[in-house]
Structure 1
């Protein structure tokens, strides 16, 4: 066997294993939530505050980078088909600026936006 064929086989095997591992990681019962002033990720272990940044927007899907969870960041692939009735709320929330904490207290406009999305 030629060394290039071996290298190609190794690359295909490595890519396949990475894709398989990534598909296992996608199974999650976590929920991404925006209350008008902050993002959080709610899961079995509690709630973590985070900041959302759009990396890619495909109109019916979003690749979002979540930061502020310690030193780590978390990449999230969000799809319209997961919750089609809430998709536009999520898109508006991701592109909106958070309400400052001083204004959010006691302001009727700070009610939850309904921008919740399961992370699956």
Structure 2
């Protein structure tokens, strides 16, 4: 069993138009719900003002969170993921990639760094269409090596693919020995004739 890592790729990160539109739609649905509730329940002016302030506060929180989305580049070097660019979380290696949502033309990815802190990234095809398939190959390719996490941030490098190759070789040598053992009258379960 021979596995190869995906080739290196660098992909731009930016503010997701899709995410902003989706959050705006949710916010407008919340605003509409509050307005319909206010009309149907004939709310007192104080309760209506509180509900509207809450919805407007949620809208401001969405706006601020959209402005603080990570920018820069997502880089795969064939072995590890890195986020490059300005920001406090950039530069370090990103471990444990998880694809949270795959919408074909956009991906929601979650990375965990060595300290265990999660980083959520929206990546869209429209950012760099000619490298989109390269990015998807890197995201979905089996990685050549993996690390087993131990307590206190330590990690033991375990080459899972090599271990699987050894197990495959042992299994194939055992399975090829079965017909020869059966022909010689050897009880394979007990190892004697």
TM above 0.5, yes or no, is: yes
Equivalent in the alignment of 1:49: 93
Distance 2:129 2:140 in 1: 18
Equivalent in the alignment of 1:94: 139
Q: 1:12 aligns with which of 42, 50, 55?
A: 55
Q: 2:82 aligns with which of 25, 40, 44?
A: 40
Q: 1:72 aligns with which of 96, 113, 117?
A: 117
What's the C-alpha RMSD, in Å, of the aligned pairs? 2.3
Which has the larger displacement, 33-42 or 86-95? Answer: 33-42
Matched position secondary structure for 1:59: coil
Q: TM-score, normalised by structure 1?
A: 0.71
Residue 70 of structure 2 contacts residue 121 of structure 2 at CA under 8 Å; is this kept in 1?
no
Residue 49 of structure 1 contacts residue 69 of structure 1 at CA under 8 Å; is this kept in 2?
yes
User: In the alignment, is residue 63 of structure 1 matched against residue 108 of structure 2?
Assistant: yes
Higher helix share: 2
Q: TM-score, normalised by structure 2?
A: 0.47
Q: Which has the higher contact order (CA 8 A, sep 6+)?
A: 1
Distance 1:7 1:97 in 2: 52
Aligned length: 101
- TM-superposed CA distance for 1:75, in Å, is 0.7
Which has the larger displacement, 10-19 or 43-52? Answer: 43-52
Cα displacement string for residues 5-52 of structure 1 (whole angstroms, at most 9, x for unaligned residues):
234313321221122112211362x21111222111122466210122
| Change in 2 beyond 3 A, CA 1:19/1:58 | same
- TM-superposed CA distance for 1:69, in Å, is 4.6
Q: Which runs of 5+ in 2 are unaligned?
A: 1-44, 147-158, 160-193
Structure 1: which 4+ aligned runs deviate by more than 3 Å?
none
